[in-house]
Copies of this chain bind each other. A is one copy, B any other.
Amino acid sequence: MLDDRKLQVLRAIVSDYVSSQEPVGSKALVERHNLGVSPATVRNDMAVLEDEGYITQPHTSAGRIPTDKGYRLFIDRLAGVKPLSPAERRAISTFLSGALDLDDVVGRTVRLLAQVTRQVAIVQYPVLSSASVRHVELVSLGGDRVLVIMISSTGKVDQRPVEVPGITEDELAQLRGILNAALAGTSLADAAAALGTLDDQLPPPLSAAGTQVSSALLEILGTSTSTRVVVGGVPNLTRFGAEFETTVKPVLEALEEQVVLLKLLGEAATPGDVTVRVGHENPYRELQTTSLVASAYGSDGDIWASLGVVGPTRMDYPSTMASVRAVARYVGRFLAEG
């Protein structure tokens, strides 16, 4: 059905179209890639590829452009891995040195990814159900208010204020000790359970406060497994194409929806490997004119979160995939050491 040369033709179409943004015809194809056959032959091959749904014509007298299905085939079977340029390699291996804290790491990562891929970059804050509670802190805010702080083993800090009428500093210290004894070192998943049994065991003067505090902690644990994402490189969308209001607006809207982005990245969950969703393979209508290239990152098969880029379906998949993979690996390694 699809012999070797037809695949080669498809590959040539994809690569020409990606670089020129214009429908590619048989003659130009033969000229630029030495296929060893005449334009007429290529035309026949193209007709077959079109029948099979891999390419399409915008209009009768124009060249062909790849369909989503065509890109898919290209990615699965035709894309060689394009090695990173030395400059990119260098940028990736140095961009995190000197990072201050987690915010800084994520911020730098998103900027780097946007820069090397020239697409919109999306980075999810690391979160690990396998992470553990490092420390719980209770701080009196004066009056009846107490700030509950939880620090996880990733260095992430969450806080939440609660109302605890009439608690003394001593009681606070006591409660702090009990909480840390019970929670410190437990995984985030176990911590929730531990909190449940804890409530009953508190001495009466603390029980009211304990209920308040542990419900705050539960909230923190809850939100802490669905973290934020950060987006960068939005200006790159301007290279998207002419149709502004119709094409770019939905994408911008999707990018402001944390929930959508989280789901999107969440589904790209195999670490080490790069997941690509081309156009309509994407479940979100707003993003069906785009492709997502994403990868999970983590350490030793332990997935922390995902990152990736979103761009027009006509993107340079080989190098984008290479960049995303490289960045994901590097961030994983950096955070594991850090």
A residues with a Cβ closer than 8 A to B are 100-101, 134-135, 137, 139-141, 147, 149, 151, 155, 157, 159-161, 219, 232-235, 237-239, 242, 244-245, 248-249, 252-253, 255-256
Contact = CB atoms under 8 A, between A and B. Distances in A.
Give the copy number. 2
Given A234-B256, A235-B252, A256-B234, A137 B159 contact: no
Given A234-B256, A237-B252, 16 more contacts: A100-B219, A101-B159, A101-B161, A134-B139, A135-B139, A135-B140, A135-B147, A137-B139, A139-B151, A149-B149, A151-B159, A155-B159, A157-B159, A234-B234, A235-B249, A238-B248
23 contacts: A100-B219, A101-B160, A134-B139, A134-B147, A135-B139, A135-B147, A137-B137, A137-B149, A139-B151, A147-B155, A149-B151, A155-B159, A155-B161, A157-B157, A234-B234, A234-B252, A234-B256, A238-B245, A238-B248, A238-B249, A238-B252, A242-B244, A244-B248
A283 B253 CA distance: 29
Q: Is the interface of A mostly helix, strand, loop or mixed?
A: mixed
Contacts of A137: 137, 139, 149
A139 B100 CA distance: 17
A238 B244 contact: yes
Nearest to A160: B101
- Highest count of chain B CB atoms <10 Å: which of A134, A235, A248: A235
Contacts of A135: 139-140, 147
A198 to B, nearest CB: 20
A100, A135, A242, A244 — which one has the most chain B CB atoms within 10 A of its CB?
A244
A160 B256 contact: no
Given A147-B151, A147-B155, A149-B157, A256 B235 contact: yes
Contacts of A252: 234-235, 237-238
Nearest to A247: B238
Question: Lowest 7 CB-CB distances: which A-B pairs, in order?
Answer: A235-B252, A238-B249, A135-B139, A235-B253, A244-B244, A238-B245, A157-B159
Nearest to A103: B228
A179 to B, nearest CB: 13
Nearest to A255: B234
A237 B238 CA distance: 12
A252 B141 CA distance: 39
